Amino acid sequence: MLIGELSRRSGVSRRSLRYYEQQGLLRSRRTANGWREYDEAAERRARGVAEMLAAGLTLEGVKELEPCLDMDGLAACDDPGLALETYRARLAVVEQRMTALRHHRDELARRVDELSGR
């Protein structure tokens, strides 16, 4: 299938598909006229990359779990322990950022209250 069809079927933009390919997460072959052509497995892979990124993984985290992209869900991954470790590490980072953001929010609210005369 060509990139437009893969984009429609996977729900991933053409630009993102090109980026995934540039990062080695998606593969295509070139037709005689230079167009990208993808196999049927590319749809699952593209959707998987997009879902992992949407869940909060970084591109590096997705690359660590790249073998899982061809499986039917994370539980079917050859190394679910690696997936669990990768997600736990990212969750810890997100939780640290949330704590910092709550602190910033509280400090900003305090200053707004102070300046408002409360």
Strands (DSSP E) found in the chain:
29-30, 36-37
pLDDT category of residue 102 using cuts at 50, 70 and 90: very high
Question: Tokens 């073998």 sit at which residue?
Answer: 67
Average pLDDT, rounded, for the chain: 92
Q: For residues 81-98, give the mean pLDDT.
A: 93
Please tell me the predicted confidence (pLDDT) of residue 103.
Answer: 97
- Closest-CA residue to 74 (of 58, 92, 55): 55
Q: pLDDT tens, 24-66?
A: 999 999 999 999 999 999 999 999 999 999 999 999 999 999 8
What does the pLDDT average to over 62-84?
81
Where do the domains of the chain lie, and which CATH numbers do they carry? 3-115 (1.10.1660.10)
- CA 16, 19, 20, 21 dihedral sign is positive
pLDDT value, residue 32: 93
For 65, the enclosing helix (H) or strand (E) is none
- Does 73 have pLDDT greater than 70? no
Asked if pLDDT for residue 1 goes beyond 90, the answer is: yes
